[in-house]
Structure 1
Amino acid sequence: VAMHIKKLKVRPRKSMCSSRCDPFDSSNVSVIAPFETPCGPALQGMLNCMAAKGDVHALDACEGVTQELFDCMRHASIGKQRPRYTINYHLMKLQKLLK
């Protein structure tokens, strides 16, 4: 469903390759670095421990990695990341244009 709004301007996407680009050539693909969370390794360690024990409620056996994740989540710095604009932010901007 397309919706036309007079005052809304959208920039066209830049083409990643020329018009004679081979779609199956791997050199035309840009690689996006995976998003790394500050507590990702600690979470992965806890999940691996629970999977190795075969029990999600194996808190005694995985106490060390669980405590490590808890400490990481408590002291994780949120202020270093740029704020990401949510859909609500964009809808609020769009609402001003529609009035």
Structure 2
Amino acid sequence: MIFIKKVRVRPKKSQPYNMCGAQLTAMLSCWAATSDFQGQSACKEAAETLFHCMRTTPIPKKAPKPTINYHLARLGKKIQ
């Protein structure tokens, strides 16, 4: 018979989803190239696309917590 005191599984870490990353990068690069931090002239289009993306993109829901460790603990009690 195999005896395992505690069995745990670490969940895979997923990369966070960057919703408006391309638009933010475009605006920051425009700011770096033209030093137009107010968005009045040169970077106005980049700023508007970023604001539009931020207004329309839904916030992702939190992923449910995996229950594998709970089930392993339950099974461990029955095995011992």
RMSD: 3.2
Q: Which structure shows the bigger proportion of residues in helix conformation?
A: 2
Deviation at 1:58, TM superposition (A): 4.2
Answer with 1 or 2: which has the greater Rg.
2
Distance in 1 (CA, whole Å) between partners of 2:25 and 2:8 is 36
Match of 2:49 among 55, 63, 68: 68
Question: Structure 1 stretches (4+) deviating beyond 3 angstroms?
Answer: 11-14
Please list every run of 5 or more consecutive structure 2 residues that lacks an aligned counterpart in the other structure.
Answer: 1-5, 65-80
State how far apart, in whole Å, the 2-side matches of 1:48 and 1:33 are: 27
Greater relative contact order: 1 or 2 (C-alpha under 8 angstroms, separation 6 or more)? 2
Structure 1 position 36, deviation (Å): 3.0
Q: Distance in 2 between matches of 1:83 and 1:59?
A: 39
TM-score (norm 2): 0.54
Structure 1 unmatched ranges of 5 or more: 1-10, 15-31, 85-99
Q: For residues 54 and 12 of structure 1, do their structure 2 counterparts lie closer, same or farther at Cα, with a shift above 3 Å needed?
A: farther
Aligned residues: 59
Equivalence map 1:1-99=2 (5 Å): 34-78=15-59, 80-82=60-62
